[in-house]
């Protein structure tokens, strides 16, 4: 049966997008996505960074702390599921604006929390808003960026985002002991997050909708206009389009049941297992490192300083990942960095001096972001356009759910058996993750997107 005209147009539009060089529109999109992801990371590491401050502020018990730490992650789980699916229905750009607006309002409201329950609710709502940020960002960049440049250019957005980790660490170190204008420093950190969200909204208002998504919805005229805009920018730069065409993905709409067919069912199973486990390795360190240090007898001020210094490794790791991901097979980058992350994490747990604590913590965060950037690019490559946000959002949401629950699992282990045992448990879980992706994860490096994502064969 011959392809329908819309399917032919979809494939042609995808081919034209794939041939483009990187244009100013691409760069603006990467910057706008990166700044939004900055506040996702800011939120993830915020509660863990100031957890000791919140314990003192609200006189929290050890049993109550996991609820504060977990509320944002549970909200992120809900946001990733709902808004990830919504983005496949209403478009990437509109979902981008809605999610960051919700986050901004909830973050400012949380700054004025009179008690822990109010704060927990506000953090949950902020999590709903910001929770879709990474799935939406991964999907939008995968839609927009030419395949030949995707790994290299997308890591710049992630590098911008991971500046949020040391920023929140040093903000906590600077603001937590003080009360500017008579308002507790930790409250200012929430306010700054809300203001940042407004800035992100302004940056995103001028972004184009994904032409691949428009084509998948049959909106060919609009998709054509967006692609022409990209081509015009490339022409203005005096850079001719690359005439080669390799593995152009069809962006024809596909039913949701496609995810239950091969090879996508196998990939969904792989990502479900991966996302359930990766939160323990990645977010476990970021959210509980300060708690680990306080449990080992360091003061709140000391723990804030050591954690702020270790957090410098996150943006550096993201920078290091750029050439690695561009040159090596993604799944092997994920596996190798997970092994290194485990080794350095255990070193952090058993270190006996501040210098070793900071050194091993720094190396852990460097490896963590090679790992993180690898899987964010990888997960968006292995699903077709019309289902990409749904597949990535629904599976990625599990990492946020488990990150919310991990405090209830890991803090009791920390209290009962100490940091080495807690990190050993994390290591076992990460070993299962490694075996899972080694066995079930497809290779993507050097393969065209059509080869990676074959269309279902009609019976």
> Which range, of 9-18, 274-283, 323-332, averages the lowest pLDDT?
9-18
pLDDT of the residue at 238: 46
Give per-residue pLDDT as tens, 112-169.
Answer: 999 999 999 999 999 999 988 888 888 899 889 887 787 788 889 988 988 988 888 8
What number is the average pLDDT over the span 56-83? 84
Total domains in the chain come to 1
In a domain, 133, yes or no: yes
Residue 188 in this model has a pLDDT that exceeds 60 = yes
pLDDT of the residue at 158: 86
In a domain, 418, yes or no: yes
pLDDT of the residue at 388: 83
Give per-residue pLDDT as tens, 393-421.
Answer: 889 889 888 887 888 899 899 999 999 99
Residue 244 in this model has a pLDDT that exceeds 70 = no
Count CB-CB contacts under 10 A for residue 193. Answer: 26
Residue whose token pair is 């409201």: 109
Report the mean per-residue pLDDT for the chain: 86
pLDDT of the residue at 193: 93
- Across 239-383, the runs of DSSP E, i.e. the strands, are none
Q: Which span out of 41-45, 68-72, 107-111, 175-179 was modeled with the highest average pLDDT?
A: 107-111
Task: Please report which confidence band the pLDDT of residue 7 belongs to, taking 50, 70 and 90 as the band edges.
Answer: low
In a domain, 455, yes or no: no
Q: Is 422 helix (H, G, I), strand (E, B) or coil?
A: helix
What number is the average pLDDT over the span 205-210? 90
Do 333 and 375 form a contact (C-beta atoms < 8 A)? no
**Measured CA distances, 278 to 42, 360, 399 (Å):** 19, 20, 7
What number is the average pLDDT over the span 378-384? 89
Sign of CA dihedral 407, 413, 414, 420: negative
Query: Is 172 or 426 the better-scoring residue by pLDDT?
Result: 426
Q: At 373, which CATH number?
A: 1.20.1250.20
In a domain, 392, yes or no: yes
In a domain, 245, yes or no: no
Distance CA 423, CA 446 (A): 36
Residue 300 in this model has a pLDDT that exceeds 50 = yes
Give per-residue pLDDT as tens, 331-355.
Answer: 999 999 999 999 999 999 999 899 9
In a domain, 111, yes or no: yes
Task: Please report which confidence band the pLDDT of residue 247 belongs to, taking 50, 70 and 90 as the band edges.
Answer: very low
Tokens of 168: 């929140």
How is 409-441 classified by DSSP, letter by letter? HHHHHHHHH-HHHHHHHHHHHHHHHHHHHHHHP
Domain that holds residue 424: 5-240+256-449
Residue 445 in this model has a pLDDT that exceeds 50 = yes
Tell me how far apart the terminal alpha carbons of the chain are, to the nearest angstrom. Answer: 11
pLDDT of the residue at 226: 92
pLDDT of the residue at 431: 97
Tokens of 347: 């070193």
What number is the average pLDDT over the span 373-383? 90
Q: How far is CA 80 from the centre of its chain?
A: 10
Residue 267 in this model has a pLDDT that exceeds 60 = yes
Residue whose C-alpha is closest to residue 131's, from 162, 188, 85, 167: 85
Residue 241 in this model has a pLDDT that exceeds 70 = no
């Amino acid at each position: 049966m011959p392809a329908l005209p819309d399917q032919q147009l979809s494939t042609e539009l995808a081919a034209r997008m794939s041939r483009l060089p990187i244009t100013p529109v691409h760069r603006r999109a990467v910057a706008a996505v990166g700044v939004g992801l900055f506040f996702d990371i800011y939120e993830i590491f915020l509660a863990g960074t100031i957890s000791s401050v919140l314990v003192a502020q609200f006189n929290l018990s050890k049993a109550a702390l996991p609820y504060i730490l977990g509320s944002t992650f549970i909200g992120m789980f809900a946001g990733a599921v709902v808004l990830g699916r919504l983005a496949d229905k209403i478009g990437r750009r509109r979902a981008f604006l809605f999610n960051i607006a919700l986050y901004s309002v909830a973050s400012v409201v949380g700054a004025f929390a009179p008690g822990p329950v109010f704060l927990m609710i506000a953090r949950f709502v902020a999590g709903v808003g910001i929770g879709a940020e990474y799935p939406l960002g991964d999907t939008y960049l995968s839609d927009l960026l030419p395949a030949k440049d995707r790994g290299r250019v997308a890591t710049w957005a992630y590098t911008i985002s991971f500046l949020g980790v040391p920023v929140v660490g040093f903000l906590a170190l600077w603001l937590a002991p003080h009360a500017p204008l008579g308002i507790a420093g930790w409250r200012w950190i929430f306010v700054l997050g809300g203001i940042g969200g407004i800035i992100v909204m302004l940056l995103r208002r001028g972004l184009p909708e994904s032409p691949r998504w428009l084509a998948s919805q049959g909106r060919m005229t609009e998709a054509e206009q967006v692609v022409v805009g990209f081509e015009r920018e490339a022409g203005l730069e005096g850079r001719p389009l690359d005439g080669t065409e390799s593995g152009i993905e069809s962006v024809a709409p596909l039913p949701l049941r496609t995810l239950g067919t091969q090879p996508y069912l196998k990939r969904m199973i792989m990502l479900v297992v991966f996302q359930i486990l990766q939160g323990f390795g990645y977010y476990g360190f970021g959210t509980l490192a300060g708690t680990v240090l306080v449990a080992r007898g360091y003061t709140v001020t000391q723990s804030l300083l050591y954690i702020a210094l270790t957090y410098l490794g996150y943006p550096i790791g993201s920078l290091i990942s750029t050439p690695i991901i561009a040159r090596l097979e993604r799944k092997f980058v994920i596996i190798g960095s997970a092994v290194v992350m485990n080794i350095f994490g255990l070193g952090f747990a058993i270190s006996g001096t501040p210098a070793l604590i900071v050194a091993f913590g720094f190396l852990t965060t460097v490896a963590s972001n090679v790992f993180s950037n690898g899987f964010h690019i990888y997960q968006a490559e292995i699903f077709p356009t019309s289902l990409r946000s749904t597949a990535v959002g629904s599976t990625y949401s599990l990492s946020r759910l488990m990150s919310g629950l991990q405090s209830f699992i890991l803090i009791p282990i920390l209290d009962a058996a100490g940091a080495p045992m807690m990190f050993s448990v994390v290591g076992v879980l990460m070993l299962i993750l490694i075996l899972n992706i080694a066995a079930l994860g497809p290779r993507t490096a050097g393969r065209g997107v059509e080869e990676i994502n074959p269309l279902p064969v009609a019976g």
